Amino acid sequence: MNVLPLISVIIPVYRVELYLRACMDSIVNQTYANLEIICVNDGSPDGCGEILRAYAVRDPRVRVIDRVNGGLASARNTGLAAAHGKYVGFVDSDDWIEPCMYASLVEAMEADDADLAVCGVCLEYEVAAGEKERECDCRYFARPMAGLRPLDASVMRVLDVCAWDKLYRRDLIEQYGIRFPDGYRYEDNVFFWAYAIRCRSVVILEGEWYHYRRRPSSIISEVRNGGCSHSTEAVEVYSLIAEDLRSCRCFDTYAVPFFVLLAGQVGLSSAADRKPAEILAGAILKACRFHQYLHLFDAGDEWVVQRLLPLCRKPRWRERFVSRLFRRHVSPGGTVRYKVLGIRCRKINP
């Protein structure tokens, strides 16, 4: 008799009392029953803890981990440390999923021996009082391919970096010590790249089974309402990705999708945050020797080159900005020379 593989579903929980029951109901009522449901109460000050404990009493698959607030990345890492499943999935506690989601993802992974499974996403818009309903823009989640694919550069270009519309192999996560970087707002990017570049294949499913609730405070909402207001943080995580690509000696393989995503992130910057984001991107481009990869871009990628190439200039501005950004790594006093992303910089005292 075949035993269904265990899936560990990790739900970080913080200040979502209004949405938590809908999220939990969608998980406990999955058609795939062999779930380990790990709820990480990240010091939520509302009634989330009581709600979670009520679910744990009714359903033995639900585990509640209470901890001091430490942020989304840290909460997810806490869930990973407690997971025992063959596969791992993530659900944000204000979202919900279709009943067939995990059954469909695990069936595809088992059938194709894939390292990653991805499903479609439905954006659910929460409109504030007095705000006009906007049309859904799902282009970021649109994929021109489906089925089993090698995880090469062409596939990396069309996959989103979100953690929650996917199913992962836990043994791969543990083998390479993959975790969400603590202290970063855009931790999904780093986790996805760290996992994907160590995969052989991905199975892409067309069903829109994950419902992402677009609240006014969400990152997608910021982008739609005039640009990302944390552009420097968003660009900064690409330095971590670049370091990982170089450490794996696969930067050349994924250079084009890396630069495409970096160009897209710079383009999403808000007007107020655009200049520092561009300066930091310029530092990353220099460290990655962007000019050596220009011949890899085809005519359809002309916008990438047009957006990024000018950022490789003005080295004095770039050095000053990177120096200020990373001065916490330098001992105080005097002018200290050091390296950031392989670039020689100086600490500039005010």
**pLDDT per residue as tens digits for the range 45-98:** 999 999 999 999 999 999 999 999 999 999 999 999 999 999 999 999 999 999
Query: So what's the pLDDT on residue 128?
Result: 60
Question: Angle, nearest 10°, between helix axes 231-247 and 251-267?
Answer: 180
DSSP 31: S
Residue 34 binned pLDDT confidence (cut-offs 50, 70, 90): very high
Closest CA to 119 of 146, 87, 156, 96: 146
**In the chain, domain spans:** 7-224, 231-346
Mean pLDDT of 111-135: 78
Residues 103 and 111: beta-carbon distance below 8 Å: no
Q: What is the pLDDT of residue 334?
A: 46
Rounded Cα gap, residues 71 and 184, in angstroms: 9
Task: Name residues whose C-beta falls within 8 Å of residue 213's C-beta, 6 or more positions apart in sequence.
Answer: 19, 92, 94, 95, 96, 124, 126
Of 27, 48, 38, the closest CA to residue 79 belongs to: 38
Query: What confidence tens digit (pLDDT) does each residue in 316-331 have?
Result: 544 544 454 454 344 4
Q: Name the pLDDT band for 184 (thresholds 50, 70, 90).
A: confident
pLDDT at 3 over 90: no
Comparison of pLDDT for 142 and 293, the residue scoring more: 293
- Please answer whether residues 267 and 313 qualify as being in contact, where contact means their C-beta atoms are separated by less than 8 angstroms: no
Q: Enter the pTM of the model.
A: 0.83
Tokens of residue 245, six digits = 């690509």
How do residues 208-229 score in pLDDT, each as one tens digit?
999 999 866 544 444 444 444 4
Give residue 230's pLDDT: 66
- Give the pLDDT confidence of 341-350 residue by residue, as tens digits: 444 444 434 4
Residue 134 φ/ψ, nearest 5 degrees: -105, 150
How confident is the model over 251-278, as a mean pLDDT? 88
Helix (H, G, I), strand (E, B) or coil at 103: helix
Q: Exposed, middle or buried by CB within 10 Å (0-12, 13-18, 19+), for 45?
A: exposed
- Residues forming beta bridges with residue 120, ordered by sequence position: 208
Tell me the HSE value of 296 on the side-chain side, using a 13 A CA sphere: 17
Which tens digits make up the pLDDT trace of 287-308?
999 999 999 998 889 999 999 9
What torsion do the CA atoms of 342, 344, 347, 350 make, to the nearest 10 degrees? Answer: -120
CA distance 285 to 312: 6
Distance (Å, rounded) from C-alpha 296 to C-alpha 168?
30
Question: What is the architecture, at CATH level 2, of domain 7-224?
Answer: Alpha-Beta Complex (3.90)
